[in-house]
Amino acid sequence: MKKINNKIFWALSLILLISCETTELDLLVDPNLPSSESLDPDTNLNFVAYSFSEFFEEATEAGGEAVRLEYMFDSYQVNFNNSNVNLSGMWTIAYTDILNEINSIEPTLVETSRLEHLGILKIMRAYTLMTLVDYFGDVPYSEALNGGDNFPNVDSGQDVYTQAFNDLNDALTGFDNIDGNTPEATDLFYGGDIDKWTRLANSLKLKYYLSRRLVDEAGSAAGIAAVLLDDNFISSSSDDFFWQAGTSNNPQSKHQYYVEEYEAANTGEYIPNYLAWAMTEEKGIDDPRLRYYIYRQTNAFPTDPAVLNNEIDCWNDSRPNTYAPIDALSATPLPFCALFDRGDGYWGRDHSENDGIPPDNAKRMTFGTYPAGGQFDDDQGSAIDSGDGLDGAGIWPIMMNSFVNFMRAEAAIYLSTTDDARAMLEEGVRNSITTVMSKLPNPGSFGSVPDNGDVEDYVAEVLALYDAATSPDERMAVIAKEYWIAMYGNGVEGYNLYRRTGTPINLQPTYLGTGEFPRSFLYPNVSVDRNPNINQKPGLGIQVFWDNNAAGFIQ
């Protein structure tokens, strides 16, 4: 990898100090943003890279809450109204700090034949545009970057998706034309390794085709076949595309989950009971990633009913039948309240439970080593503190080799590609476990690290479930559950997977009832309140262009 120069670190320090506020009505021009003329191309590139990581973080929180990868407080309507903070941040970062910055620097990069910089930026723009469509449907683009008092109209989601696909192809064409005279780029993701950026671009083309398969089955099948034939996509952990968090407090570089929990006395988040159940009870075997994902601050539940009533007020509630469907694969009732039957401290929160927060800060489950850079659960049973574990040096997993395996498995199931879906499922599970376990330094110092036998037992259980499935949809349910577990820390792919396939099939229903699942999110108030050309949607049931599944298909 190329060495990152000092200007980039200067730029990152600047990024963390500058304000992202603006008085422009369309929020597309930030007066505090350094102009392209005042910074060198690497600095501009890495301003976008940093902003891109922030965009992904905001998108992941909303998507993760919707599909039970993160705890969601209250109903969908309450959490995802048009003033939702995460979605407002996601929208503003996308337009102000990514799309506008790329638009500003692009002419200079073209003029100076900086094909590496240009290609990398186009790949990040493509991902940003696809994600905006995935979350909001029709969004501004063709009129969005004109500056001034412009109030852009929305473009159709399909047109914006096409622009994203064109960006990926343009980036690849530019990379093919790199020669000895092309100025080199140094970026914060791959360190200027254009081969890795090429494999990412092709992996995003795979994602593009898979997202569109419901509305263009033939085109998606042909497109995926071409990507597979070219065989130049992410297929190794060395090509994983993720944001690496640091351990600095000034400027703050730690993983946001770590900051929210370890630096703030665990006052922000719960781990969903459903996630803990899926990794422990559902298959009757502990997932090898369990102690990396989840850290228990206590190894037992209180036994005094008075303490239970105060700290876990749901402990003696009857499980309402209307909220407890049966898992079609294992015939095990879904969890509600904590996992009391285990008795070993898996203490979380149900999806959408909106009761008051009890005094359980030092007892509830919290984030572990992966992806948050926290503490590995070695049965310590002690409350977390700042500096524990990896001190926040976690990752945001954006496009991992295991994700590509699971996408290929889905394509094999529904588009009859040349891949073997079962083999892709197995590779995805193994690659995910290997990646997660690799993030723990000195694993030999922990007695609870899973051994090879634990991994083999888990893989065998997954494959047995797959082999027992009798239809494509049942096989997809097995694949999707493993994909869902593997994507922990990535709510973007989980949100898309659930709307596209209806799987995982047994996600814990909302505690408050079904509600209206967000088939797309409402436009945030920073857009509709300041742009008269954007009309708010009538509700959360509006589907994006590639989602032609029935209304009420998921909940």
What are the boundaries of each domain within the chain?
15-154+517-539, 251-393
Q: b or e along 498-529 (b: 16 or more beta carbons within 10 Å of the residue's beta carbon)?
A: bbbbbbbbbbbbbbbeebebbbbbbbbbbbbe
Is the alpha carbon torsion for 535, 51, 351, 504 positive or negative? Answer: positive
* Per-residue confidence in pLDDT tens, the chain, 555 aa: 333 333 343 344 433 333 333 333 344 444 444 454 555 899 999 999 999 999 999 999 999 999 999 999 999 999 999 988 889 999 999 999 999 999 999 999 999 999 999 999 999 999 999 999 999 999 999 999 876 568 999 999 999 999 999 999 999 999 999 999 999 999 999 999 999 999 999 999 999 999 999 999 999 999 999 999 999 999 999 999 999 999 999 999 999 999 999 998 766 689 999 999 999 999 999 999 999 999 999 999 988 888 888 888 777 765 544 434 444 444 456 677 888 888 899 999 989 888 888 888 899 999 999 999 999 999 999 999 999 999 999 999 999 999 999 999 999 999 999 999 999 999 999 999 999 999 999 999 999 999 999 999 999 999 999 999 999 999 999 999 999 999 999 999 999 999 999 999 888 888 777 678 999 999 999 999 989 999 999 999 999 999 999 998 888
Q: Cis check for the bond before 251: say yes or no (omega within 30 of 0).
A: yes
DSSP state for residue 366 in the 8-state scheme = E
Strands 241-244 and 154-155, sheet pairing:
unpaired
Return the residue matching tokens 């197995």: 426
Return the residue matching tokens 């109030």: 151
511: CB partners within 8 A, 6+ apart = 323, 336, 350, 351, 352, 353, 354
Which pTM does this prediction carry? 0.92
- What are the tokens at 520? 């797309």
Q: What is the dihedral of CA 24, 26, 32, 38, to 10 degrees?
A: -120
Q: Cis check for the bond before 320: say yes or no (omega within 30 of 0).
A: no
Helices (H) and strands (E) in the chain, counts: 19, 6
The answer to whether 171 and 201 are in contact (CB under 8 A) is yes
The answer to whether 144 and 28 are in contact (CB under 8 A) is yes
Half-sphere exposure of residue 154, counting CA atoms within 13 Å on the CB side? Answer: 19
